[in-house]
Chain A
Amino acid sequence: MVFDIDVIETPENVQLERDLAGIGTRFVACLLDLLLIFAVMLIMLIVLLIAGWGAFIESMFTEGALMIAVFIVIQFLLFWGYFVFFELWTNGQTPGKKSQKLRVVKDGGGGVGFTEVAIRNLLRVIDAPAGIFCMFFTKKWQRLGDLAAGTVVISEIVCDYSASHDKRNKGQVWDVQAPPEALQATNLKPEEYQVLMNYWKRRYQLTLAARGRLLRTLVRPILERNGIHSLDYDTKAIERQLATIIEAANQASAPPSPPRGPIGGAP
C-alpha cells in the first residue's frame, strides 16, 4: 500500500492526485470520535445523576423529568448527528479525522454536501457491524456508506521529502556535524557521513518507494565505495548495513545516542 491515490479530473482536463486514507488511520479516527461521544455522554450522565436524580425521585413531573427528556434528546442527537454535524461544519472532518489529518471528499473531487454526509453517516449503523468488510473489496477503501454516498476518505498528510520543504526539521537536517571520532570509526568522508545521517534521520518521513530509491541510488554507492561490497539490490539488506554503520558512528562519537529518526513509527 505504497501509493493509494485518488485521481481528480479537473475542468481544465488535468489530473490531480490525492492520497487515500488507509484503514488504520481511519480506525483510529473513528475510535477517537467514539471516545469523544462517550465522554460527553458520561459527563452528561454524571450531571444528571448529581443534579437531577433527587428531583426525579420526588416526582416524575418536575424539572427532573425535563432534564431526563433533554438528556434523551441530546443522546439521540449525539448518536445520529455527531458525524453529520462535524463533517458538514468543517468540510469533511470530524475531530477524530482532523487529528489523523483525514478528510471526507466526493469521489472524483470536490467537498461533501449535506446529502453525501447524511447517507454515509446514516449507513454507519450498518457499516459498524457488517458493511465495513466492503472496504477490503473496493479499490478506494470505501465502506458501504461511502459507496452509496459516492465519497472517499483522503489523507492530507503531506509526505514531501525534500529538505527545503521540511518545516519540522528546518536547519537540523542540513547541519549535521560530522564528529571526527565517528568519521574515524566508520572511515567515511564528512560529506558521506552527512548524506547517510540525513537519510537515516528522515527515513520514516519517506514513502517506501522513495526510501527504496534513495537506498539504491544514494546509500549503496557510498557503502560500496567504503568497501562494504556483496550488496545486492535488496533495499532491506542495504538499510541493515547502514544501521550498523550509523550505530558504530554513534558509539564512537560522544555523547552516544541511539540511531533514531526524528519521527518515530514504522512507515
Chain B
Amino acid sequence: MSPSKFLELRKPVWKRLEELTGKGRRRLSALREEELQELAKLYPTVAVDTARAKMYGMGDNTRRYINELAIAAHGLLYRRKRSRPLRAVGRFLGHDYPCLFRELRFYVLLSLTIFMTVSICAYITVRVNPSTAYLFVPGGLDVAGGPDVSKEDVGERYRQISGSIMASAITTNNIGVAFYAFAMGIAAGIGTCYVLLFNGMMLGGFFGHFANHGLSYECWSFLVPHGALEIFAILVAGGAGLRLGLSMVLPGRLTRKASLRTGAREAVLLVLGTIPMFIIAGAIESFITPAYISGIAKILIGLLALGTVLAWLLMVGRGRTPLSAADERG
C-alpha cells in the first residue's frame, strides 16, 4: 500500500475517532453505548496506525495527529474504575489499614524503640541533673508552669483556652507533624529520626521535670489521657517515614526506583491512617484533659482509647485474605 493510499483509506476512520473522543472527553457518559463500542473497536486500529505511519515515513504532522488521537482514545478506554470515596474509606479503615499496619509492624516497632530509648535517656538525665530540663523542653515548660511547678499548674493553662480552638489547632498541628515525619523520611529516614528524637527528648524531659517536683501522678494524669494515643500515632507516622527511607536505602532485590515506589505506596497509606487517631486524641486533649474529673478516670479513658485503637489494628481483617491496600487503590 502506498502512503497516499494509506491516508485515503484511513482518513475517515481518524475523523470518526476524532469525533468520538471529542464527544467523550468531557464526560464519558456523553457517548451512547454503540458509540462506546465503536470507540473500543476503532482505537486499536488507530493505535496500530501510529506504527504504520512511522513505517510509511509519513510527515511529522500526520504522525503527530494520529498519535494525539490514539492517546485521547487510550485515555478514555484505559481509565481507572471510578471508586466511591466513602466506600473506599470504609474499606480502608475496616480492612486494608489494619492489615497494612501488621505488615509494617517492624517499622513501627523500630520507631517505638528509637523514641523510647531517647525519652528514657532524657528522663534519667533530668532526674540526675534537674537544670537540664530546660534543654529538653524548650518552651514546653510554659504549658505547665515555670521551674517551681505546683499541682494547680499542671493543665491549668489548658483550661483558659476555648475547647474548639484547641481541638482544631492541636489536631491539625499533630497531623501536620505526622505528615512531616513521613515526608522527611525520604532522606534515608534521617528526618524522621529527627522528629522522633525531638519528641522523645521532650517527653522524657517533661516527665523528669515533674518527677523532680514530686508531681509524677499529676503529670501522668495530664499526659496519658490524650498522649497515649497521640504518641502512638506519631510513632506510627514515624514508622511510615522509616519505611519510606529504608525502601531507598535497602531496596533488597528490587531496583532502588521500584523499591522507593512500593515503599512510598505503603508508607503514605500508613501515615494517612493516623488521621482518625489524631482526631480522637485531639478531642480528648481539648475536652477531657482539662475537665474537672479525677486523674484515674482520665488515665482510664486515655488507655481505653489506645486499647481500642490497638485492638482495631491488631484484630480487624484477620483471617480474610489480605488484599494489598496499595494495589486496590491503584
Contact = CB atoms under 8 A, between A and B. Distances in A.
Interface stretch (A8-16, A40-48, A168-176, A193-201): A8-16
A135 to B, nearest CB: 15
Chain B: interface size category: 35 or more
B329 A113 contact: yes
A133 interface: no
Contacts of A65: 162, 164-165
A109 B76 CA distance: 12
B186 A131 contact: yes
B261 A18 contact: no
Determine which residue in B70, B167, B184, B271 has the highest number of CB atoms from chain A within 10 A of its CB, and name it: B70
A155 B8 CA distance: 30
B47 interface: yes
A119 B264 contact: yes
B165 A147 contact: no
Given A10-B47, A16-B71, A148-B244, A111 B265 contact: no
A126 interface: yes
A69 B250 CA distance: 43
Nearest to B178: A122
Interface in B85-135: 88
A19 to B, nearest CB: 10
B47 A14 contact: yes
Contacts of B78: 10-11, 109-110
A73 interface: yes
Contacts of B261: 147-150
B292 to A, nearest CB: 16
A197 B322 CA distance: 66
A65 to B, nearest CB: 4
B91 to A, nearest CB: 12
A12 B186 contact: no
B183 A126 contact: yes
A17 B67 contact: yes
A162 interface: yes
Q: Is the interface of A mostly helix, strand, loop or mixed?
A: helix
B257 A147 contact: yes
B32 interface: no
Given A8-B74, A69-B165, A122-B179, A148 B50 contact: no
Interface stretch (B57-65, B136-144, B198-206, B296-304): B57-65
B326 interface: yes
Interface in A139-192: 144, 147-150, 158, 160-162, 165
Contacts of A79: 176
Given A8-B71, A114-B329, A149-B261, A122 B65 contact: no
A240 B88 CA distance: 60
B46 to A, nearest CB: 9
B165 A72 contact: yes
A60 B329 CA distance: 43
B169 interface: yes
Contacts of B64: 158, 160
B270 to A, nearest CB: 11
B276 interface: no
Given A8-B71, A16-B67, A122 B168 contact: no
Interface in B26-83: 44, 47-48, 50-51, 60-61, 64-65, 67-68, 70-71, 74-75, 78-80, 83
A158 B68 contact: yes
A136 interface: no
Find the residue from A16, A75, A144, A147 having the highest chain B CB count within 10 A.
A16
Contacts of B68: 158, 160
B61 A161 contact: yes
A124 B168 CA distance: 23
A109 B74 contact: yes
A153 B257 CA distance: 18
B186 A14 contact: no
Interface in A83-132: 109-111, 113-116, 118-119, 122-126, 131
Per CB-CB distance, the 8 closest pairs between chain A and chain B, nearest first, are: A113-B330, A148-B264, A76-B172, A65-B162, A69-B164, A69-B168, A162-B61, A14-B47
29 contacts: A8-B71, A10-B78, A14-B48, A15-B50, A16-B50, A16-B67, A18-B71, A60-B160, A60-B161, A60-B162, A65-B162, A65-B164, A65-B165, A69-B164, A69-B165, A72-B165, A72-B168, A72-B172, A109-B78, A111-B75, A113-B80, A114-B83, A115-B329, A115-B330, A119-B264, A147-B261, A149-B264, A165-B61, A165-B65
